A and B are shown apart, each in its own frame.
Chain A
Amino acid sequence: MKLDSKIPAGPLAEKWTKHKFNVKLVNPANKRKYDVIVVGTGLAGASAAASLAELGYNVKSFCFQDSPRRAHSIAAQGGINAAKNYQNDGDSVFRLFYDTIKGGDYRSREGNVHRLAEVSVNIIDQCVAQGVPFARDYGGLLANRSFGGAQVSRTFYAKGQTGQQLLLGAYSALSRQVANGKVKMYPRTEMLDLVMVDGKARGIVARNLITGEIESHSAHAVLLCTGGYGNVFFLSTNAMGSNVTAAWRAHRKGALFANPCFTQIHPTCIPVHGDFQSKLTLMSESLRNDGRVWVPKDKATAEKVRKGEVKPADIAEADRDYYLERKYPSFGNLVPRDVASRNAKDVCDDGKGVGSTGLAVYLDFKDAIKRDGEDAIRAKYGNLFDMYEQIVGENPYKTPMMIYPAVHYTMGGLWVDYNLQTNVPGLYALGEANFSDHGANRLGASALMQGLADGYFVIPYTLGDYLAQNPADKISTDHPAFKEAETGVKSQIEKLLSINGKKPVDQFHKELGHIMWDYCGMSRTAEGLKKAKKMVQELRDEFWKDVKVVGTSDELNMSLEKANRVADFLELGELMIDDALNRNESCGGHFREEYQTEEGEAKRDDENFSYVAAWEYNGPGKATLHKEDLVFENVKLTQRSYK
Chain B
Amino acid sequence: MDLTLKIWRQKNSNTEGKFVTYEVKDISHESSFLEMLDVLNIGLEEKGEEPVHFDHDCREGICGMCSLYINGKPHGPQQTTTCQLHMRSFKSGQTIWIEPWRAKAFPVIKDLVTDRSAFDRIIQAGGYISVNTGGVPDANEIPIPRKIADEAMDSATCIGCGACVAACKNASAMLFVSAKVTHLGLLPQGKVEAKTRVENMVAQMDAEGFGACTNTGACAAECPKEIPLANIAKMNRDFIGARLTSENV
Chains A and B share a contact (CB less than 8 Å):
yes
Which residues between 58 and 80 of chain B lie within 8 Å of chain A, taking CB atoms?
58-65, 78, 80
Task: Tell me the minimal C-beta distance from A80 to chain B in angstroms.
Answer: 11
Interface of chain B: mostly helix, strand, loop or mixed: loop
Q: Are A140 and B143 in contact (CB under 8 A)?
A: yes
Q: Are A126 and B136 in contact (CB under 8 A)?
A: yes
Does any Cβ of B come within 8 Å of A134's Cβ? yes
Return the contact of B65 from the options A70, A274, A504, A548 (Cβ within 8 A): A70
Return the contact of A72 from the options B50, B57, B153 (Cβ within 8 A): B57
Number of interface residues of B (CB under 8 A): 77
- By a CB distance below 8 angstroms, the chain B residues around A241 are 57
Return the contact of A179 from the options B115, B124, B133 (Cβ within 8 A): B124
Q: Are B62 and A47 in contact (CB under 8 A)?
A: no
Q: Are B139 and A140 in contact (CB under 8 A)?
A: no
The stretch from A275-283, A304-312, A430-438, A622-630 touching chain B is: A275-283
Q: Are A142 and B140 in contact (CB under 8 A)?
A: yes
Interface digits, B2-46 against A, CB 8 Å rule (1 contact, 0 not)?
000000000110000000000000001011101100110010111
Q: Are A70 and B64 in contact (CB under 8 A)?
A: yes
Known: A276-B31, A556-B110. A504 touches B46 (CB 8 A): yes
- By a CB distance below 8 angstroms, the chain A residues around B159 are 164
Which residues between 118 and 141 of chain A lie within 8 Å of chain B, taking CB atoms?
122, 124-141
CA distance A47 to B137 in the complex (A): 18
Does any Cβ of A come within 8 Å of B88's Cβ? yes
Q: Are A125 and B139 in contact (CB under 8 A)?
A: yes
Does any Cβ of B come within 8 Å of A240's Cβ? yes
- By a CB distance below 8 angstroms, the chain A residues around B113 are 556
Task: Tell me the minimal C-beta distance from A642 to chain B in angstroms.
Answer: 29
Return the contact of B128 from the options A74, A176, A281, A502 (Cβ within 8 A): A176
Which residues between 385 and 405 of chain A lie within 8 Å of chain B, taking CB atoms?
387, 390-391, 393
Q: Are A390 and B117 in contact (CB under 8 A)?
A: no
Task: Tell me the minimal C-beta distance from B137 to chain A in angstroms.
Answer: 7
Q: Are A559 and B28 in contact (CB under 8 A)?
A: no
Chain B residue with minimal CB distance to A356? B30
The stretch from A60-68, A101-109, A440-448, A486-494 touching chain B is: A60-68
A residues adjacent to B (C-beta < 8 A): 47, 50-51, 54, 65-72, 74-75, 84, 86, 122, 124-142, 158-159, 161, 163-165, 168, 171-173, 175-176, 178-179, 185, 187, 210, 237, 239-241, 273-274, 276-279, 281-282, 387, 390-391, 393, 456-457, 460, 502, 504, 506-507, 548, 550-551, 555-556, 558-559
Other than A70-B64, A387-B60, give 6 A-B pairs with Cβ distance below 8 A: A51-B133, A129-B129, A135-B149, A135-B153, A165-B156, A278-B35
Q: List 26 A-B contacts (CB under 8 A).
A: A66-B116, A75-B58, A75-B60, A125-B137, A125-B139, A127-B139, A129-B137, A130-B189, A133-B183, A136-B145, A136-B149, A140-B149, A161-B157, A165-B153, A165-B156, A172-B128, A175-B124, A175-B127, A179-B124, A240-B57, A240-B58, A276-B35, A387-B60, A390-B61, A506-B38, A559-B45
B residues adjacent to A (C-beta < 8 A): 11-12, 28, 30-32, 34-35, 38-39, 42, 44-46, 48-51, 53, 55-65, 78, 80, 84, 86, 88, 109-110, 113, 115-117, 119-120, 123-125, 127-134, 136-140, 142-146, 149-150, 152-153, 156-157, 159-160, 183-184, 187, 189-190
